[in-house]
Amino acid sequence: MGTWTPRATFYMEEKTKSASEVISDAERPHHPFSPSSLGLREECPCYESRGGSSLAAERGTLQHAAVEIGEDFADLEDHEALAVADCISFCEELERGKYSGRIGHILKEPHLVVDAKHIKVGDVKHKGTTAGYCDYVIVSKDETEADIVDWKFGMFEVTDAEFNIQGQSYLLGLKRRFPKLKRITVHFIAPHRDEMSFHTFEEEDFPGLYIRVCRAVQAAVEARNKTEAGDFSDARPGFSACLFCKHITKCPPLIERMIEIGMKVNPLELPSDLNVEVVSDPKNAGIGLRLAGVVKGWAEGYRSFITTKTIDRLDYVPDGYTLVSSQRRSVVSVSGVKDLARQYGVVEEELDAASDIALGKVEAAIKSRAPRGTKGTAAQEFSRSCEEAGYVEKGAPFGFLKMSKGVKQ
């Protein structure tokens, strides 16, 4: 990924509506082997998402929605709104520059299916070897050239466009919809990492990309059938795949690695299998918990040692990290915090939702009401006012290491 140069020098005109009023709850059909999962499935064919959501995912969904409809949300933080404006500006420049007078189609969140095949999972057939929704597409008037743009609002590494199987899957789906396409450029924009990547694929590249996608899906389908029968022989443990995989507690190859760690620690005597689904002996279960404690203890100890070393020696900072200082806050006067929050426009319903007075929730409510460009400042003023009035006290400062922006994992 190259360095991302923000193009927007403005904030969008903020609307008072919240994201929940705009984002539809309607479920879109999702392919079980979607383009966004294929990179992890190439790393390990047995990979299966844990599902669920996270705060980071929800923030990303919110920003995607804002770009798609071209509107600002009160829920967006200032830096998130600026990232959204940058993405919209990027597409506008692409339309004006590269496609000036030559635009044939602009597609937002198109559903792209790579072929006419069907993948059967259980009793359900899914159309296409893979299929998914890319963020933005421009197709030329003669339908021979196109640009695919996909936003990445997270902080994790994004594989370069030249090698990114997700983008290649979208390309194949677009080629199927517009058969005359001869040249397609795929862009990945990661505004919060200050990175962007693009690559132009020619028509002669398309067959090889299709073979890659088919191989990845075929391997994943075969691996799923095996894992359902308890066979994890295709598993290849790796950092990225294991981090998000639902099989992490029962994957034999990964468990074997954990046992290898445990074997080096006396006096642990580990059983041959620590699969959580088959551990029935209370003694073995207890040993497994001790191993979990060892692994967790090592990880926490390592992080603590490196953090302390960084604090003691400011010339020693781990590559890809920065030392951040913070302080825990405790509420001294609940009524005082509530009174002050009301002055910032926080309503009773929101205060009731934060009945335990989670200061972060109150500050989020304040940000949602502050004018665009002042959201962070308003929350800081509220926090400072609470401290000055004695409603909130700060604990002793402590330091921790935070991954730097633009660092690949």
Q: pLDDT digits over 295-339, tens only?
A: 676 677 778 888 888 888 877 888 878 887 777 777 778 788 888
141 versus 362: the higher-pLDDT residue is 141
Task: Summarize pLDDT for 196-242 with one digit per residue, the tens.
Answer: 999 999 999 999 999 999 999 999 999 999 999 889 999 998 878 88
The owner of tokens 């021979």 is 144
Confidence at 36, pLDDT banded by 50, 70, 90: very high
pTM: 0.74
Three-state DSSP class for residue 268: coil
4 versus 234: the higher-pLDDT residue is 234
Q: What is the Cα–Cα distance from 35 to 199, expressed in whole angstroms? A: 17
331 CA to centre of own chain: 32
Q: What is the residue-wise DSSP string for 107-123?
A: EES-EEE--S-EEEETT
Task: Give the contacts of 211 (CB within 8 A, at least 6 positions apart).
Answer: none
206 versus 363: the higher-pLDDT residue is 206
The owner of tokens 């990309």 is 209
Q: What is the Cα–Cα distance from 97 to 308, expressed in whole angstroms? A: 51
Task: Tell me the mean pLDDT in the region 46-61.
Answer: 85
Beta strands 321-326 and 183-190 are unpaired
Q: Kindly report the CATH number that applies to the domain delimited by 2-228.
A: 3.90.320
For the chain, the structural domain boundaries read 2-228, 249-310, 325-403
Task: Summarize pLDDT for 125-182 with one digit per residue, the tens.
Answer: 899 999 999 999 999 999 999 999 999 998 888 999 999 999 999 999 999 999 999 9
Least confident of 169-173, 187-191, 245-249, 353-357: 353-357
Phi-psi region of 70 (alpha: psi -120 to 50; beta: other; left: phi over 0): left
DSSP state, residue 202? E
Residue 409 has pLDDT above 60, yes or no: no
The owner of tokens 């059983």 is 271
Task: Give the contacts of 325 (CB within 8 A, at least 6 positions apart).
Answer: 397, 398, 399
